[in-house]
Amino acid sequence: MAEVILKDLTKRWGDFVGVDNQSLHVRDEEFLVLLGPSGCGKTTTMRMIAGLEDPTDGEIWIGDRMVNDDLPKDRDVAMVFQNYGLYPHMTIFENIAYPLRVRGVDKAEIPPRVQRAAEQVELTKFLHRKPKALSGGQRQRVALARAIVRKPKVFLMDEPLSNLDAKLRVTMRAELKHLSRELQITTVYVTHDQIEAMTLADRVAVMKHGVIQQLGTPDEIYNDPANLFVAGFIGSPAMNLINGSVEDGMFVTTGGTRLVKVPSPDRARAILGVRADDMQVHEAGQGDIDVTIYAFENTGESTLLTVQWGKQRVIARGDRHLRKEQDDVVGISLNTDHLYLFDPDTEERIRM
């Protein structure tokens, strides 16, 4: 196994900067997720680790070796792609065995290694079939087995679940989580899906415009966001961000509503962050403020109320048994133990 260290890594194409002077230490046997929207630099970072892109500046270390000048085949990494990358004319056994044949592994050693990899992803009864005879989830497991069979130092996974339907993604997430604990191989995983990041990662690096905005455990980035981008990107629904000011220890919305006490000096402009889970829904007149329902959604396990709050709309999560209609008035209370304040100019968190 091996750690992965990026030192002042930069990638430019002309005037465009894909990754901007980033440093990152992926610990030995850690499952680290690079998370962010399209174009944030996460896939470019992974491709540089793999050797598929050359960095403009900086160093890439795998274990105790700097690999900037090494070819991809010499870096001892295994990649799992979004599109599976299977050979359609080969059986599943042959697809899994292919990396071993290319590396000249002894022929007698190949069958037991393929069998073991197939067992780990529960594919043993499909080894004689070809990829077209398998479902999407089964083909993704073949791609995983082909990576596992090599016993690499590092796994690199580029949005491997994005082609699967919603139900299958849940199943594959559980399988990946189980495999990562069983194999204990350093893994760098790229995704734009925050649910994958939160459920799979030991740590998450949230990226924007080629820069890591925050690096931490899933709990840390959810409960202690460093800035507005992380606060708004993590969570489903996203954190409510309410414009206003701080006056005499109270947060006052742009519309003039004195909303809640905040332990902060007065500020002419501020943004209050509160998650839907920390906004309790009551009958009208029983909360901190009465609001009008703009939209009511029953998701099954809970209800989501989009409410009109002055000139803004915010989302509160209600009990799954709650039933309301559009234009109904409800009371809302805020959990003051879980409020966040941000500077609208720097977008950084204001510690309270």
What burial class does residue 305 get, using C-beta atoms within 10 Å of its C-beta: 0-12 exposed, 13-18 middle, 19+ buried?
Answer: buried
3-state helix, strand, coil in the chain (%, to 5): 30, 35, 35
Q: Do residue 121 and residue 198 come from a single domain?
A: yes
Among 204, 233, 262, give the residue marking a domain's end. 233
Q: Do residue 84 and residue 149 come from a single domain?
A: yes
Residue 203's pLDDT band, with cuts at 50, 70 and 90, is: very high
Q: Do residue 272 and residue 339 come from a single domain?
A: yes
pLDDT at residue number 265: 87
Q: Do residue 246 and residue 263 come from a single domain?
A: yes
pLDDT at residue number 210: 95
Residue 1's pLDDT band, with cuts at 50, 70 and 90, is: low
Q: What is the CATH number of the domain that holds 115?
A: 3.40.50.300
- Whether residue 238 contacts residue 232, with contact meaning beta carbons closer than 8 Å, is answered with yes
Q: Do residue 227 and residue 244 come from a single domain?
A: no
Locate tokens 């969570």: which residue?
A: 235
What residue numbers bound the domain in which 248 lies?
240-350
Q: Do residue 216 and residue 324 come from a single domain?
A: no
Query: Per-residue b/e over 27-49, b at no fewer than 16 CB within 10 Å?
Result: eebbbbbbbbeeebbbbbbbbbb
Number of domains the chain is built from = 2
Please state the pTM of the whole predicted model. 0.88
Q: Do residue 203 and residue 301 come from a single domain?
A: no
Q: What is the CATH number of the domain that holds 337?
A: 2.40.50.140
Among 211, 233, 255, give the residue marking a domain's end. 233
- In sequence order, the 6+-apart residues with CB closer than 8 A to the CB of 136 are 163, 164, 165, 168
pLDDT at residue number 146: 86
Q: How far apart are CA 156 and CA 329, in angstroms?
A: 50
Query: Taking the CB of residue 137, how many other CB atoms lie within 10 A of it?
Result: 17
Q: Do residue 249 and residue 215 come from a single domain?
A: no
Q: Do residue 276 and residue 178 come from a single domain?
A: no
pLDDT at residue number 169: 78
List pLDDT tens digits, range 9-55: 999 999 999 999 999 999 999 999 999 999 999 999 999 999 999 99
List pLDDT tens digits, range 48-89: 999 999 999 999 999 999 999 999 988 989 888 777 678 889
Q: Do residue 227 and residue 250 come from a single domain?
A: no
Among 233, 248, 282, give the residue marking a domain's end. 233
pLDDT at residue number 319: 87
For the segment 142-168, the average pLDDT, to the nearest whole number, is 83
Decide if pLDDT at 163 tops 80.
Answer: no
Q: Do residue 268 and residue 120 come from a single domain?
A: no
Query: Per-residue b/e over 169-198, b at no fewer than 16 CB within 10 Å?
Result: beebbebbeebbeebebbbbbbbbbbebbb
Q: Do residue 215 and residue 266 come from a single domain?
A: no
| DSSP line for 260-283 | EE-SS--EEEEEEEE-GGGEEEEE
For the segment 88-96, the average pLDDT, to the nearest whole number, is 92
Residue 271's pLDDT band, with cuts at 50, 70 and 90, is: very high
To the nearest whole number, what is the mean pLDDT of the chain?
90
